[in-house]
Amino acid sequence: MSAMNSKNEAGGKSPSAPSTPAMQGLANRLVRGLLRTPLISRAMGNRLVILYILGRKSGRRYSIPVAYTRHEGDMLIGTPFGWGRNLRTGEPVEIRLKGKLRTADVVAYSAEADVTGAYELMTRDNRTFANFNKVGFDADGNPRPEDLHRAWADGARAFRLTPR
């Protein structure tokens, strides 16, 4: 099977790929503020973390709030967006978890089996994540394999973060 990406044959974005909602920038600013607020960050931090990512080309520092799923003591995150290319295995990342600035070790996944396996765990844990990534569920409540494959084919990547 050949690798596919989020562009269709005409060069545009796949119609099934997630897109950034119009108000996402405003929502991200609000969430970043809440995740820095001591008492609020403890409650919201059970599902959300801020990543501080250095752009590999621009050198610019980005702060990105993302949902995570706890798995085997680590945190799983996933994204179909380009900022994920700035997270690389073996290169630690700064995070703000439950109000505290920490360092986390990163393992990046791009192979189909790794990404779809991680996305299966994340979509089971977080239906909002599943909806955003357009992953549906079968009658038994399992994520549909064709949707997990499509998410990967559209450019989704997964990451394991181990906070220090």
**27-65 confidence digits (pLDDT tens):** 767 777 767 766 676 666 678 999 999 998 889 999 999
Largest pairwise CA distance in the chain: 49
Distance CA 104, CA 120 (A): 23
- pLDDT tens track for 88-123: 999 999 999 988 899 999 999 999 999 999 999 999
From 3.30.70.1290, 2.60.15.10, 3.40.50.720, 2.30.110.10, which CATH number describes the 24-163 domain? 2.30.110.10
Q: Where do we find the tokens 């499509």?
A: 150
Give the span between the Cα atoms of 18 and 123, in whole angstroms. Answer: 14
- Pairwise CA distance, residues 33 & 96, whole Å: 11
- In this predicted structure, what is the pLDDT of residue 62? 92
Residue identified by tokens 């089996």 is: 113
Q: pTM for the whole thing?
A: 0.78
